[in-house]
Structure 1
Amino acid sequence: MDHFIRIYHEEAVAYHAMIAREDVDQQVRGALVDNGALQAQRLLDLGTGTGRIPLLLHADIPHIVAFDLHEAMLREHQRQRALVNGQWPLLQGDMRYLPFTNAEFDLVTAGWALGHFCGWYGDNWLAEMHHVLTEMRRVVQPGGQVIIMETLSTGSLEPRPPTPELARYYAWLEGDWGFQRRELQTD
């Protein structure tokens, strides 16, 4: 079993405790604010995990839907949501096949989630990732935003993709899909 899958199935509480200590300077929230994310009325957060993005934005965006594959992560997300008196729905499912109508959201985010496809789907990651990005674009309104957040170095002072696979994935997002990179230091 992939070590991330094991963590997401068995260590959701510990995972949230770890990420809760990151980004003490609110760099992620600041970048989302700068990108105009707080103008959104309907947010879909894919690979929501224990709720990092909804917990950052719940006071500003009236309608949030949190979507994740892993039940244990959603259970911890539910616990974290209750601590802030949040009411947004938590849905379990596969982000390659979203159960939403076209143009239902004006902001779709995926934080630290899509890069796993490089390891989980081996040589087929590109085709599987294409499904996800097509779905993200389908459910976002014209003029809405799709924001993908990923790790750009771990254990290094210089920002660079942590693996060759992630380097190819990041280049594909920027080259084939037109995403623009913005680097943040969150440690």
Structure 2
Amino acid sequence: MPNHTSIYENEAEKYHELISKQADLDLWIEEIRPLNGLDIVDLGAGTGRFTASLAAKAKSIIALDASEAMLRITADRLTQAGLTNWRTQASDHRKLPLEDQSADLIVAGWSICYLGSTNVQDWEQNIHQVIGEIKRVLRSNGTVIIFETLGTGHDTPTAPDFLKSYYSMLVNNYGFSHKWIRTDYTFDSLLQAEELTRFFFGEELAERVINQNLVHLPECAGIWWLQLPQV
């Protein structure tokens, strides 16, 4: 399996090329929480998958990520779009550089999982810290929406074994609602599909792409969300 930490630091442009082959997810977010006029935080913003599209409707948006290289692409995209209601900052999900009750909406896409994998030491404490920070930063009636993988190359949800306990914790310990959606990739060619799949997902899936001619690569994702009570 490729080293994702290295990819995020050293190959951010190629990672952005990969995720650009997926459809926007704004409608799924707006179905849970309308965006107009909100102060938004994007955790694990990466190259701006959410930030770049949400910023146009937000009052303000803060993009946080562990990788400065990824955030530079986000900043370039927002600048090129002529937007000024944003800032980026490198940070750890377990200690957010944000004031108490300063956000209406927090979105986190495919990033908390790196702290919640059962392959990681103290993963349960990690999730406790992350959820605690999210609740600290959200205002009364604030909303958190988390996207995570339910299987690339699968037509129906197939959660990785090492993430099942984290997903269960979100529902059973913290009261999140959840559903699943499709987040398929549509590549320009089989060559591109093979190259980008091998780059991020590894040899096994890349070989499937070649053997099954998967220019359209299925993927499932889970959405977990929680709204804080009105105080």
- Whether the TM-score (by the shorter chain) exceeds 0.5 is yes
Superposed, which structure 2 residues align to 1:23-172 within 5 Å?
Answer: 23=23, 26=24, 28-39=25-36, 41-87=38-84, 88-119=86-117, 122-161=120-159, 163-172=160-169
More displaced 10-residue stretch of structure 1: 95-104 or 3-12: 95-104
Instruction: Give how far 1:83 is off.
Output: 2.6
* Structure 1 segments unaligned to the other structure (5+ residues): none
Q: State the distance in 2 between where 1:10 and 1:127 align.
A: 29
Q: Give the corresponding residue for 2:16.
A: 16
Moved beyond 3 Å, runs of 4+ = 118-121
- Alpha-carbon distance change, 109 to 118 in structure 1, aligned in 2, over 3 angstroms: same
* TM-score, normalised relative to structure 1: 0.91
Deviations 1:8-61 (A, max 9, x none): 1111001111101112xx4x2111111124145200111111111111211111
The total of aligned residue pairs comes to: 182
Q: Which has more helix, going by share of residues?
A: 1
Aligned match of 1:7? 7
In structure 2, the gaps of 5 or more residues are 185-231
Contact 1:65 1:89 in 2 (8 A): yes
> Take 1:113 and 1:156, find their aligned partners in 2: how far apart are those partners?
20
Whole-angstrom CA distance in 2 between matches of 1:106 and 1:40: 9
Q: TM-score if structure 2 supplies the norm length?
A: 0.74
Work out the percentage of aligned pairs sharing the same amino acid. Answer: 32
Q: Say if 1:53 and 1:101 are closer, same or farther in 2 by CA, change over 3 A.
A: same
Q: Post-superposition shift, 1:120?
A: 9.1
Q: Rg larger in 1 or in 2?
A: 2
Pairwise CA RMSD: 1.6
